[in-house]
């Protein structure tokens, strides 16, 4: 009888211990946090300034294009065929420069934004990892996309088991 009671107590103790250490999962909205970080707000200010610089340059280039166009229209009758061809080529070259400038400006702005976001996102990642470790979470998911932002070293990778089940 004592063995049965002792066995039952041991079983209850193990069950309670297992229940007390149930896996913890968490979730977070990255946007809700990152968009409120002061460092991220600074990115917007810097990017507005950078964008303004490119917009100002683009305005100057478009004004130059308009001048070429107006001059061509004004002097069309007096231009020789060679002068017309030269002005048309100048106009097309300017249009091409504007298009190239626009594409390059977009790429430069995207690179600048990425460069500025890296330290903010790294800071966010470290905070999520710290919260995960400190609070015993096995996983923390991004609520809007389902991405895993943190997984504990205690997590078991079941990839080999699933592959075996599928015969892969």
Integer Cα distance of 90 and 62 in angstroms: 13
Integer Cα distance of 137 and 21 in angstroms: 11
Residue 160: predicted pLDDT: 65
Instruction: Report yes or no: 28 and 128 within 8 Å, Cβ to Cβ.
Output: yes
Instruction: Report yes or no: 37 and 124 within 8 Å, Cβ to Cβ.
Output: yes
Beta carbons within 8 Å of 131's beta carbon, 6+ residues apart: 26, 137, 140, 150
3 part of a folded domain? no
Structural domain count of the chain: 1
State how far the alpha carbon of 49 is from the alpha carbons of 35, 53, 76, 103, in Å: 19, 6, 41, 18
In 3D space, the residue among 97, 25, 35, 92 whose CA is nearest the CA of residue 60 turns out to be 97
Instruction: Return the higher-pLDDT residue of 65 and 132.
Output: 65
Residue 119: predicted pLDDT: 94
33 part of a folded domain? yes
19 part of a folded domain? no
Q: Which two tokens stand for residue 162?
A: 């699933």
136 part of a folded domain? yes
14 part of a folded domain? no
20 part of a folded domain? no
5 part of a folded domain? no
- Is the pTM here over 0.85, yes or no? no
Per-residue pLDDT reduced to its tens digit, 79-125:
999 999 999 999 999 999 999 999 999 999 999 999 999 999 998 88
121 part of a folded domain? yes
Per-residue pLDDT reduced to its tens digit, 155-167:
656 566 666 666 6
Integer Cα distance of 139 and 82 in angstroms: 72
Bridge partners of 157?
A: none
Beta carbons within 8 Å of 135's beta carbon, 6+ residues apart: 24, 26
Tokens 């996983």 belong to: 139
Q: Which domain holds residue 94?
A: 25-166
């Amino acid at each position: 009888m004592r063995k049965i009671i002792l066995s039952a107590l041991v079983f209850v103790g193990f069950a309670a211990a297992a229940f007390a250490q149930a896996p913890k999962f968490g979730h977070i909205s990255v946007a809700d946090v990152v968009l409120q970080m002061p460092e991220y707000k600074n990115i917007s200010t810097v990017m507005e300034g950078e964008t303004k610089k490119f917009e100002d340059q683009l305005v100057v280039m478009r004004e130059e294009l308009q001048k070429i166009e107006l001059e061509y229209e004004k002097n069309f009758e007096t231009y020789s065929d060679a002068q017309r061809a030269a002005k048309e080529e100048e106009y097309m070259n300017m249009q091409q420069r504007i298009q190239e400038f626009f594409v390059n400006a977009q790429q430069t702005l995207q690179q600048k934004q990425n460069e500025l976001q890296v330290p903010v996102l790294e800071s966010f990642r470290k905070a999520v990892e710290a919260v995960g470790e400190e609070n015993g979470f096995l996983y923390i998911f991004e609520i809007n996309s389902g991405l895993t932002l943190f997984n504990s070293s205690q997590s078991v990778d079941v990839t080999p088991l699933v592959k075996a089940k599928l015969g892969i």
